[in-house]
Amino acid sequence: MKLKKDMKILIVGLGLLGGSYAMALKRQGYDVSAITRSQSSIDYALEKGIIDRGGVDIDPELVGSADLAVFALYPNVFVNWLKENGGLFKPGAVITDVTGVKSCIVYEIQKLLRPDIEFIAAHPMAGREVYGVQNADDRIFRQANYIVVPTSNNTAGAIELCRDLGQKLGFADVSELSPEMHDEMIAYLSQLTHCIATCLMCCNDFRGLEHYTGDSFRDLTRIAKINDEMWSELFLLNRGSLLREMDKFRRSFNELYDKLASGDREGMREMMRVSTTRRARFDKAE
């Protein structure tokens, strides 16, 4: 099953990501509706031609006409939305999302929906340190990764549809992970990095540091401007995996500390060589 031009797509939550989805899909001629909390976001999106229609109310007709719905909400808000309104979707509707944690919501959502509505989870690995549909920009998907997160409850058709969505949005790499593997990966690749950036910023309150810094510090703390409401929720929803990754990191950090303290230059160099070799795999194609 691939995305077809006569499919009606509904975006729920028209922020930076939802807006960027709408922008990419509208540009390719799809019919895109939106439901979001703020009227000004709807007005903006209509004015810019990013959506065909939308509103702040949960319009049963709008929900009931959607062939594909993309949820771009905080995890708990997302689950509650479906608990209250999931019954409005028509038989055969496919629901996907952009949520940054999976195990804790995917099974629950698949269980609470009617059997004739399918939820196929996905995680677009793209974002910026700004918010709102006003900052939407579908160029953030270029060179970025898109992870489809199926369970054994998902059909081959919905998985294919979700992969096709990732490709049509313009992601460079579309892959699949189980919810458990996803959460382990994301604990390391995304949540741990946000922990580190936050702590690097918190651990020192020298004044005037901005006059002495180089770009390495700026790079490591770019994400230290952090949405505390969203990230604290994501951390808690993936607590087990994140604590394990934090433990691995601090073991490695303590190892380097001990090597430095004891003057083990060759041991430090060996860690740096491992680091250099591994990092090379992450270079983006230029």
Which 155-184 residues touch its own copies, going by CB under 8 A?
A: 173, 175, 177, 182, 184
DSSP three-state, residue 195: helix
CB of 124 to its own copies, least distance (A): 9
CB of 224 to its own copies, least distance (A): 4
Site membership for its own copies, residue 5 (CB under 8 A): no
Residues numbered 177 to 216 that lie near its own copies (CB under 8 A) are: 177, 182, 184-186, 188-190, 192-206, 209-216
Site membership for its own copies, residue 104 (CB under 8 A): no
* Residue 2 DSSP label: -
Site membership for its own copies, residue 257 (CB under 8 A): yes
As beta bridge partners, residue 8 has: 31
Site membership for its own copies, residue 254 (CB under 8 A): yes
CB of 143 to its own copies, least distance (A): 9
Tell me which H or E stretch contains 34: strand 31-35
CB of 183 to its own copies, least distance (A): 11
Q: Quick one: 111 or 251, whose CB is closer to its own copies? A: 251
Give percent helix, percent strand, percent coil of the chain, each to the nearest 5: 55, 15, 30
Residues numbered 129 to 148 that lie near its own copies (CB under 8 A) are: 144-145, 147
CB of 210 to its own copies, least distance (A): 5
Q: Quick one: 63 or 148, whose CB is closer to its own copies? A: 148
Stretches 16-24, 79-87, 154-162, 238-246: which one binds its own copies (CB under 8 A)?
238-246
Site membership for its own copies, residue 250 (CB under 8 A): yes
CB of 270 to its own copies, least distance (A): 8
Site membership for its own copies, residue 252 (CB under 8 A): yes
Listing DSSP states for 77-146 in one string gives HHHHHHHHHGGGSPTT-EEEE--S--HHHHHHHHHHS-TTSEE-EEEEE---S--SGGG--GGGGTT-EE
Q: Using CA atoms, how far apart are residues 284 and 286, in angstroms rounded to an integer?
A: 6
Q: Using CA atoms, how far apart are residues 68 and 166, in angstroms rounded to an integer?
A: 13
Site membership for its own copies, residue 77 (CB under 8 A): no
Q: Using CA atoms, how far apart are residues 221 and 38, in angstroms rounded to an integer?
A: 30
Burial of 212 (0-12, 13-18, 19+ CB in 10 A): exposed
Q: Quick one: 112 or 185, whose CB is closer to its own copies? A: 185
As beta bridge partners, residue 69 has: 10, 95
Q: How many residues bind its own copies (CB under 8 A)?
A: 91
Site membership for its own copies, residue 56 (CB under 8 A): no
Q: Are 125 and 146 in contact (CB under 8 A)?
A: yes
